[in-house]
Structure 1
């Protein structure tokens, strides 16, 4: 019992800052959505329409983060700290390559993307500009994720928490000055006029870009303060990059990261197709979908936020080679996330109307979106389990398993389901959301079954 309490304490001390840190990451997007949403339904659709493509493009960076975290957590768990400097150098090198791609590619496709997604003509130009400006800091986003993964592998959840917390505060402040027109108010009988830029959606994009730039720089600077994972003082950096040992590190990053990348591509591209099939239902319906999706995503913050902590814990245990500890740890984390997500289910069922009213005043959205939230509410505990198990597999380096499971459920349940029921049989947005939650529920079941059926070979 004492051992269980110690493990529970260790898990909680890691997952709480991890959840808060992801909350801050997510709030950067929510801040844009909420603050721009006050301008009207078309502004909400302008931001929402390119979101899934943004996730798809960032998949490579996030997969690199998975590879870095899994490798470093395993080395730290095994006590091999002497290799961490070299591992950090190669992580930075790959972060630069991925960052250049995640900057250049969006800039190339941004003029055409809203049209390809079927956006109404009135929102095509602002959506294109929003997408390109937000994507312009891809290099800094890449370094933020990579340096953050290094810190998390060493069970340091506080540094990413502080950086992303600061980014969020900065983004909100910048949005307030960049989105809206001048504001006059009375201060102790004196009329004060604050000059603001009145840039609307484009102002939100600039705020996000500036916050991303500063966040990337800060994360690297703070990581460099830890001598084990700092590249300061390394001699012959170019030689280190070309050494056999360095190539082996890159190979391990790619071995773990490539299936994670393909998982993100498969699922993100599936969500892009899912989005593209909803857009033709009309701007008002799509905006209601986008608002409901953004509102609901706030409730899966605990599950996604725990992901890095779960991966770090699992990677450390893989380094120790203790399957019993891994099983106990996985059980405990699944139990914790089910309890948390049941609370989310209750809130979504009881408060759906009030939640949507926080995001918009549009009458169609206020009618449609709460229905969608109540549909998705039953999915929350199973979604939490699927995220936990995916990151257990990622942490121990078994990233091919989530790829196979996610690919199957995403395309054969969500995408094919929407195509058949919405576009062929003519059902509405509600059926599309039922297909979406069916994907999540089946994914959780398959990952859970695979974990226990293949349990003896997980440490191989």
Structure 2
């Protein structure tokens, strides 16, 4: 058993092992699950960087059009994530307890429930797309592009939802590699499709070889369509992996497509706080966008590019948080409180260290990042300043991100959601309103930095109150949920 543990031991095998794991073995297990998730998140960010650079080459107005509706796309995307959370948490608990039949039921019921939910969201998104730029206070110069971009995004929500559900369930089963590979390929496809849809046909030189790259010259709308097509390819691959290839979750002939009230109710109970949190938090970001919008296209573009640049720092934290949820969830399902305790501490510590290092690197290279993202000198100058200010808050931001993943694995979603909501609405929004009038977009980012520190502190206090987090397993079974 020892040699298996040291090499490619799965999470399920670790939970079933009667032998205690050494600290090194626990770290190895965390790394096995975290690295693919981190690489996935980093690949997403590189895709966003390249997307931003492609759109940025068309000028500040094109970037501002996407930046205007970007926070609203996060709102809708977050709701899709929340719909998947309730099923992924239950799946992790079932697998940890050895109840694979129930885990397969979560997949089938998740497809039905989240599929219907995403169609509902798509209908809402398409209905409000023509009104959204006016609600956010945009000028007429970017209105049409903003409408086209958001409408296409809304149409693609069911695709995103199914891909997201399949990825979360694969991760809950301990399979982090397949979602990582598929999402990385999706990012590469997104670049190809963007080249096809955004720009007109043009010559490309690779060494001494020249060829014509076909293009549809759709501009900003092409950026949305390129991403949607890449998402569709990834969704098909992800569903095939979870429905046909997963050794735990794959479909069997006798499986029935019948909703079970108990499972659906619990999924809603677990996912609703997360959805409410996403709605309120992203709603606050929409309000922040509305605060920035009257400052002009340069301010909107600067804010949008800074958000994209900052994501390179925090996405590794989200990758670790994704891994933390099945680690903690399956450990709780198996009643292995010793593993629950250490997995929580290891993932939180790893997240803080990695994001702190990334923040230091970003502080140094911020001018070069903005030079890559946009040729606009005004955007480069202001963006570098606000990004460097926010880097000081990254360690505390790391606490909030990874701890949220740990608590989600336990099934604790309500209180953390309330803490996040209170932090952003009671700290960030009032401070943004206060500082934006005198400091412009820089004041908004100072307010954000202060709020991220408050949020990290609140989430850490929540985790510290957990009995299993404060001490080792001494034979008692703590009430985890």
Shared fold (TM-score, shorter chain, > 0.5): yes
Change in 2 beyond 3 A, CA 1:362/1:186: closer
Does 2:315 correspond to 1:301?
Answer: yes
Residues 1:81 and 1:236: Cα distance change in structure 2 (over 3 Å): closer
Does residue 216 (structure 1) correspond to residue 216 (structure 2)? The answer is no
Residue-by-residue CA offset, 1:333-371 (whole Å, 9 max, x unaligned): 122112211211211221111111010110210110000
After superposition, give the CA deviation of every residue in 1:405-437 in whole Å (9 maximum; x if it has no partner): 1011010111111122324xx332222111111
Output the CA distance in 2 between the equivalents of 1:394 and 1:269: 21
Aligned length: 452
Which digits, 9 at most, give the CA deviation of each residue in 1:109-152, with x for residues without a partner? 11110111111211001110011112211111111011111101
Q: Does 2:460 align with 1:448? A: yes
- Does the alignment pair 1:438 with 2:459? no
In the alignment, structure 1 segments of 5+ residues that lack a partner are: none
What is the distance in 1 between the residues matched to 2:432 and 2:374?
26
CA gap of 1:98–1:25, structure 2 versus 1, over 3 A, is farther
Separation in structure 2 between the aligned mates of residue 438 and residue 187 of structure 1, nearest angstrom: 47
Question: Does residue 22 of structure 1 match 2:41?
Answer: yes
> What is the CA distance between 1:230 and its match in structure 2?
2.6
Alignment of 1:459 onto 2:480: yes
Shift of the alpha carbon at 1:202?
Answer: 1.6
Of residues 131, 151, 170 in structure 1, which corresponds to 2:150? 131
1:318 is aligned to 2:327: no
Aligned partner of 1:409 in structure 2 is: 423
Instruction: Output the CA distance in 2 between the equivalents of 1:432 and 1:190.
Output: 48
Given candidates 233, 238, 249, the residue that maps to 2:263 is: 249
Q: Contact between 1:180 and 1:200, CA under 8 Å: does it hold in 2?
A: yes
TM-score, normalised on structure 1? 0.94
Aligned to 2:250: 230
Q: Does 1:278 align with 2:292?
A: yes
Distance 2:463 2:376 in 1: 45
CA distance in 1, matches of 2:206, 2:388: 44
Is the 8 Å Cα contact of residues 436 and 442 (structure 2) preserved in structure 1?
A: no
**Partner of residue 191, structure 2:** 172
Q: Secondary structure at the match of 2:203?
A: strand
Matches of 2:286 and 2:65 in 1, distance apart? 15
Alignment partners' CA distance in 1, 2:433 and 2:395: 26
Q: For 2:205 and 2:44, how far apart are their aligned partners in 1?
A: 34
Q: Which residue of 1 aligns with 2:474?
A: none
Q: What is the DSSP-based 3-state SS (H/G/I as helix, E as strand, rest coil) of the residue aligned with 1:196?
A: strand
SS class of match (1:89): helix
Aligned to 2:376: 362
1:112-127 residue pairs with structure 2 within 5 A?
Answer: 112-127=131-146
Confirm or deny: 8 A CA contact 2:281 2:420 kept in the other structure.
yes
Equivalence for 2:96 = 77
CA contact (8 A) 1:393 1:401 kept: no
**Equivalent of residue 206 in structure 1, options 225, 237, 242:** 225
Matched, 1:400 2:410: no
Shift of 1:227: 4.8
Quote the Cα distance in structure 1 between the aligned partners of 2:451 and 2:207: 57
- Answering whether residue 274 of structure 2 is matched by residue 260 of structure 1, we say yes
Is 1:90 aligned with 2:133?
no
Q: Distance in 2 between matches of 1:163 and 1:259?
A: 29
The whole-number CA distance in structure 1 between the counterparts of 2:210 and 2:100 is 61
Task: Detail structure 1 runs of 4+ shifted over 6 Å in the superposition.
Answer: 186-191
Instruction: Name the CA shift for 1:346/1:189 in 2 (closer, same or farther; >3 Å).
Output: closer
Of 124-133 and 330-339, more deviation after overlay is shown by: 330-339
Name the CA shift for 1:3/1:236 in 2 (closer, same or farther; >3 Å): closer
Distance 1:458 1:414, change over 3 A: farther
2-structure distance, mates of 1:99, 1:375? 37
Q: SS at 1:321's partner residue?
A: coil
Match of 2:5 in 1: none
Deviation at 1:232, TM superposition (A): 4.2
Query: 1:166 and 1:189, CA in 2 relative to 1: closer, same or farther beyond 3 A?
Result: closer
Q: How far apart in 2 are the matches of 1:219 and 1:27?
A: 21
1:235-267 per-position Cα deviation (integer Å, ceiling 9, x unaligned):
543xx22xxxx1111111111111111111111
Q: Which runs of 5+ in 2 are unaligned?
A: 1-19, 469-477
Distance 1:367 1:139, change over 3 A: same
Q: 1:65 aligns with which of 84, 90, 102?
A: 84
Provide the aligned C-alpha RMSD in A.
Answer: 1.9
Q: In the TM superposition, what is the alpha-carbon distance from 1:315 to its structure 2 partner? A: 0.5
Deviations 1:138-196 (A, max 9, x none): 11111101111110111101111122112111110011122122223568988644432
- Using the alignment, how far apart are the partners of 1:76 and 1:193 within structure 2? 51
Counterpart Cα distance in 1 of 2:97 and 2:209: 65
Alignment of 1:327 with 2:338, yes or no, is no
Alpha-carbon distance change, 309 to 375 in structure 1, aligned in 2, over 3 angstroms: same
Q: 2:471 — aligned with what?
A: none
Secondary structure of 1:184's counterpart equals strand
Give the Cα–Cα distance (whole angstroms) in 2 for the partners of residues 299 and 235 of structure 1. Answer: 43
